[in-house]
Amino acid sequence: MSNVKWVLGVLILILFSVRCKKDQSESCNQPVETYSLELPTEPFDYSLSVPDHIQGDPLFALLLDNQPSDNIQDNDVTTLGRVLFYDTRLSTTNDVACASCHFQENAFSFPSEFSEGIDGFVTDRSSMALVNLRWNRRFFWDLRENRLEDQVLVPIQHPGEMGSDLASLVDELAEIDDYSSLFDAAFGTAEVNEERIAKSLSQFLRALYSFDSRYDQGVENDFSDYSEEELAGKNLFFSGVARCNNCHTPQLFSSSSAMNNGLEIESIDLGQYLATGEETDIGEFKVPTLRNIAVTAPYMHDGRFQTLEEVVQFYNTDIQPHQNLNDRITEETMMGGTPVQLGLSEEDVSNLVAFLHTLNDDEFLTSEKFSNPFN
C-alpha cells in the first residue's frame, strides 16, 4: 500500500471515531437487537386465491391440498407465523431466523450453495425455495417429512441450524409482550405452546402462493406479450424434445416423487435412500419447482450450477448414467438406462432460459405481506 493511501486510511479512521464519540449515534455502538414489530392494524389477507387457469387444470385438481382440518387458514394465525419466521429469537443464539436461510427476494431460498446456522454451522445441502408448498406431499430434498406441521419444528431444533430446545423457546416467547397479543389474536388465549408455533409457521408457509408470473398471464391471454425467444422456449419446454415438463409438471412445475436426473455416476449424497433405506431411492431428490427459478441460484441439492444456462447445458449434453437414472431421460425409457442427449442448439438453450425467466412472480418476491415485519 502506498504511503498516501496509508495516511488517508488512518485519517478516515480517526475522523470516524471522533464523529462516533460526539453524537453517540447507534451505528457506532455494537448492534443491539431491538425487535420493533410493524404490523398492519387489520391483518393482511392470506386466504387462498388460485387463479381460474390453475383451478381449472385437471392436473392441478389431482394434487393433494395438504391443509389439515385442525389448522384451517386464518389471517391472524398466518400473521403470527410470519412474525415467527422472521424472528431470530427462535434460535438459541438469537441471531438466526428461518428467514436467515430463506430470503423472500430469492423465492425464500438462499443465494449461495450452502447456508449458515448458529455458531458458524454450514448446511450440507442447498436451502430450498418455499413456493406453493400447500400442494406438496413431502418435504426436504430427500422427502423425509410428510407434514408441514412436523417439518417446521425440525430447523428450530436442529443443533446447527437454530439449536433451540422447544420447551425453553416456549418459555422465552411467553415472556415477550408482542407474542402475548399475537398468540391471543390467533388462538384466543395468550398461551404459547409447541403446537401453536407449529400451526402458525406452517400456515405462513402454506400462504406462500405464487401463481402470478408472466407465464400465468400468458395462459390467460394466449401468450400475446411473449417475445419470439420466450415462445420458442415455451414450446421446447413442453415438447417431447426437451422433456422438462415430464418431471417439472405444470402447474407447480415440480413432481411429488423424488427422481434421479443424472448429475453424477456415483451419488455423493444418497438422497431419498437416507429416508427410506431402499436401494432404488439412492441418488433420488425432490423435483424442485421451477416457479421463480431465475432468482433461486445456485441450482440442485448441492448448488453445483451457478446459472440456468449451465443447468440447461447439463441436461443437453451431460446427463450421467446412474443406477436409478429416471426413465424419462433414458434412451430406452428404462430406469438406469442410457442417458439421452437432447441435441439442443445454442439458440434452443437460450430460448429455454428465456422461457424459464417468465416463471418469475414479482408480486410474490416483493409483497409486503410475506416480508420482514421487524424493523
Instruction: Name the site residues for ligand HEC (rule: CB under 6 A).
Output: 96, 98, 100-102, 115, 117, 123, 125, 127-130, 133, 136, 139-141, 151-152, 155-156, 161-162, 201, 205, 242-244, 246-248, 259, 261, 263, 285-288, 290, 293, 296, 299-301, 308, 311-312, 315, 326, 328-329, 352
Cell numbers linked to 356: 424459464
Q: Are 248 and 255 in contact (CB under 8 A)?
A: yes
Q: Which is nearer to ligand HEC, 76 or 284 (CB)?
A: 284
Q: Which is nearer to ligand HEC, 18 or 77 (CB)?
A: 77
Query: Least distance to ligand HEC from the beta carbon of 320, Å?
Result: 11
Q: Are 233 and 353 in contact (CB under 8 A)?
A: yes
Q: Which is nearer to ligand HEC, 6 or 96 (CB)?
A: 96
Query: Least distance to ligand HEC from the beta carbon of 346, Å?
Result: 14
Q: Are 160 and 121 in contact (CB under 8 A)?
A: yes
Q: Are 339 and 271 in contact (CB under 8 A)?
A: no
- In one letter, which amino acid is 279? E
Cell numbers linked to 185: 389474536
CA distance 49 to 46: 8
Is-cis flag, bond preceding 323, omega within 30? no
Query: Least distance to ligand HEC from the beta carbon of 131, Å?
Result: 8
**How many residues are given for the chain?**
375
Query: Least distance to ligand HEC from the beta carbon of 303, Å?
Result: 7
Q: Which is nearer to ligand HEC, 205 or 232 (CB)?
A: 205
CA distance 194 to 287: 30
Number of CB atoms found within 10 A of residue 189's CB: 10
Q: Which is nearer to ligand HEC, 232 or 263 (CB)?
A: 263
- In one letter, which amino acid is 1? M
Query: Least distance to ligand HEC from the beta carbon of 52, Å?
Result: 26
Using alpha carbons only, give the angle 243, 103, 372 rounded to the nearest 5 degrees: 140
Query: Least distance to ligand HEC from the beta carbon of 181, Å?
Result: 21
Query: Least distance to ligand HEC from the beta carbon of 130, Å?
Result: 6
Q: Which is nearer to ligand HEC, 26 or 347 (CB)?
A: 347
Q: Which is nearer to ligand HEC, 220 or 278 (CB)?
A: 278
- In one letter, which amino acid is 241? V
